[in-house]
Amino acid sequence: MDRTFIDGTLVERTRETEIATVEFDQNSAEFAADPWSKYEELRSNCPVAHTDSHGGFWLVSKYDDVVKVARDDTTFSSCPTTVIPDSGVYNLIPLQSDPPDLQRYREALLPFFTPKAIASYAPRIREFTNTCIDAFVDRGHCELVTELANPVPSMTALEFIGFDPRDWHDFAGPMHRLSYFADGSVERAQALADLEKMDAVIATAINDRRKKPAGDAITALVNYKKDGVMFSDQELHGLVKMLLFGGLDTTMAAISNTLLYLSEHPDARQRLIDDPGLIPLAVEEFLRFEAPVHAFARNVTTDTQVGDQKIRAGEKVYMLWASANRDPEKFENPDEVVLDRRPNRHLTFGVGGHRCLGAMLARMEMRIMLEQVLCRIPDFHIDPDTVRHPITVTIIWGRTSLPATFTPAGC
Ligand code: HEM
């Protein structure tokens, strides 16, 4: 075995197999403190590397390699799960499915994400945002995660799916714990127990809509028929559950990361205040800069090769979206936020057959929240000492607490 340290990364190459092995644990506090330099090391020293953590898996850190894996649904399967370590949450449809089922499921979900459907959610998103800001604006201080970043995406998703947006706590709480606490922690165990209760709520809603249809996504899915075939109860359950998992914590994390950046960079904030037309481009850049979902996994179905590494059937590959977004071969000055970056083909929403269905919705939620924050509490200041940063990177990368002070503006 050859062992070398390259820029602080231990790289081991076994002569027989030529496997590049690195130390990497995305659940460790050390990694969460600075994932970006670890990604830089990986990209520079061994862009496709194996780690023994969590039962062993391959890390793919460069843009082109990530795209290659994500686009090949045959060699790289999304079943049974796309997270490492296995979170124990299954039947997420279409996330944990492969073609041809994947296309069948996505076709059924597409009507909720057409440009027309997305535009129709806009007034309610603004209303939810303003209701949240109304609740704290006179106080002069707030906690931007629990009072804005968490409720707005949660209420938005709940409403179009067909749940009461006022119940957002019941849904967001368990997901939040699942996203932010590592495998084996008390909080994670509690989240899994709470998710069983959520499963019961989903099952009840599906049964209710069969008897009493409503104008929501659950009703549309219950009645969906393709070539005369309807979804089974289990499929319906998985589709609704995935809309919940997709819609809540991801967008919350994205807007929390953005608000922190703007508090720390008053010039960038002022530029957006002076030119709100720049907000959509800036949203894209914030999504690139700190991808709220750092990575998803695939399960290798046949022996293959990624980069210079031979990977065997049965192994797992971890596509590091967050690292690909900082690949200097694709993005000039990747570690800088360039508000008007163009083009900006980041991989935050994935790529290929499983590309995020909610991307346009997430972008719109972020734009509306930013517009309202910059208009109503433009001088918000987040005290860096009180920010709670991720202590582990399980699935989601976002700030969990952003206490802020501000002077209410008259708009
Ligand atoms: C900033 C916010 C968001 C981020 C970063 C994000 C990220 C992602 C990523 C990376 C994937 C690809 C998964 C893969 O390749 O295995 C995905 C899939 C998905 N997302 Fe999102 N997402 C966001 C918001 C949303 C929203 C708001 C919804 C809907 C309410 C949503 C619904 C979905 C669904 C249904 C899938 C599964 C697609 C499939 O497997 O075919 N996402 N998301």
pLDDT for the residue 411: 75
- Residue 400's pLDDT is what? 92
Q: Where are the domains of the chain?
A: 2-405
Could you tell me the distance, in angstroms and rounded to a whole number, from the CA of residue 162 to the centre of ligand 1? 19
Place of tokens 């296309």: 103
| Ligand 1 geometric centre to CA of 230 (Å) | 24
Could you tell me the distance, in angstroms and rounded to a whole number, from the CA of residue 94 to the centre of ligand 1? 10
Q: Please give the pLDDT value at position 14.
A: 54
Examine residue 328 and say whether the peptide bond preceding it is cis (omega within 30 degrees of 0): no
Each residue's pLDDT tens digit in the chain (411 positions)?
A: 455 555 555 555 554 556 889 999 999 999 999 999 999 999 999 999 999 999 999 999 999 999 999 999 999 999 999 999 998 899 999 999 999 999 999 999 999 999 999 999 999 999 999 999 999 999 999 999 999 999 999 999 999 999 999 999 999 998 888 888 887 889 888 988 999 999 999 999 999 999 999 999 999 999 999 999 999 999 999 999 999 999 999 999 999 999 999 999 999 999 999 999 999 999 999 999 999 999 999 999 999 999 999 999 999 999 999 999 999 999 999 999 999 999 999 999 999 999 999 999 999 999 999 999 999 999 999 999 999 998 888 889 999 999 999 999 877
Q: How far is the CA of 359 from the centre of ligand 1 (A)?
A: 7
Instruction: Return the ligand 1 atom nearest residue 106 CA.
Output: 41
CATH topology of domain 2-405: Cytochrome p450 (1.10.630)
In this structure, the chain runs to a length of 411
Q: Can you give the chain as a three-state secondary structure string?
A: CEEEEECCEEEEECCCCCCEECCCCCCCHHHHHCHHHHHHHHHHHCCEEEECHHHCEEEECCHHHHHHHHHCCCCEECCCCCCCCCCCCCCCCCCCCCCCHHHHHHHHHHHHHCHHHHHHHHHHHHHHHHHHHHHHHCCCEEEHHHHHHCHHHHHHHHHHHCCCHHHHHHHHHHHHHHHHCCCCCHHHHHHHHHHHHHHHHHHHHHHHHHHCCCCCHHHHHHHCEECCEECCHHHHHHHHHHHHHHHCHHHHHHHHHHHHHHHHCHHHHHHHHHCHHHHHHHHHHHHHHCCCECEEEEEECCCEEECCEEECCCCEEEEEHHHHCCCCCCCCCCCCCCCCCCCCCCCCCCCCCCCCCCHHHHHHHHHHHHHHHHHHCCCCEECHHHCECCCCCCCECCCCECEEECCCCCC
> What's the pLDDT score for residue 7?
55
Ligand 1, pocket-test mutation among 175, 250, 346, 367, most atoms within 8 A of CB: 250
- Our mutation pick for probing the ligand 1 site, out of 159, 349, 354, 356, counting the most ligand atoms within 8 A of Cβ, is 356
What is the predicted pLDDT for the residue at 199? 94
Ligand 1 centroid to Cα of residue 320, in Å, is 15
Looking at residue 88, its pLDDT comes to 87
User: Taking CB atoms and a 6 Å cutoff, what residues make up the pocket around ligand 1?
Assistant: 70, 78, 82, 94-95, 102, 106, 157, 242-243, 246-247, 250-251, 254, 292-293, 296, 321, 348-350, 354, 356-358, 361-362
For ligand 1, atom 11, the nearest C-alpha belongs to 356
Name the closest-CA residue to atom 40, ligand 1: 95
**How much distance in Å is there from the Cα of 395 to the middle of ligand 1?**
12
- pLDDT in the model for residue 15: 42
Closest ligand 1 atom to the C-alpha of 244?
Answer: 30
